[in-house]
Amino acid sequence: MSETKEGAEQTGEAEAPSEDTRPRKKRKKKAKAPREGVPSFAARFPRDEALDALLAAFERGDYGRVREDGARLVKSTEDPAVRRAAEELLRRIEPDPLAKYMLLAACVLLAFFTVWYFSHRLTPAP
């Protein structure tokens, strides 16, 4: 039994590569810590004074200010990351296209039934 162990140790030592020949493991870069106090979609937004003001207005529900200042920030900033973040905020306050079509369909139906009602009134019997 000891012969088997010794033989395994000898072959194991011969097969094991030395420290110099082993490929080094690549270390993963640590991701930046997400920002606290902002919505989850904005956790990776870059830190910028004007963008932080937009995020604060977005959280308060002041979408009019976000719409005005966001468009201004998109035009004025040189940093593409800040521009993308401002465009993302502007996209999030846009109404859903499907909701627009459904509202249009509801208005058309209301107009149709109104016209139908007034054009098909029953006249009282004499």
pLDDT tens track of the chain, all 126 residues? 555 555 555 555 555 556 667 777 777 776 666 666 777 888 888 888 899 999 999 999 999 999 999 999 999 989 999 999 999 999 999 999 999 999 999 999 999 999 999 998 877 766
Is the CB of residue 104 less than 8 Å from the CB of residue 96? no
pTM of the model: 0.57
Rg over CA atoms, the chain:
33
**For residue 78, with 0-12 CB atoms within 10 Å meaning exposed, 13-18 middle and 19 or more buried, which class applies?**
exposed
- Per-domain residue ranges for the chain? 35-119
pLDDT of residue 28: 75
pLDDT of residue 113: 96
pLDDT of residue 83: 93
pLDDT of residue 89: 92
CA dihedral 103, 105, 111, 116 (to 10 degrees): -150
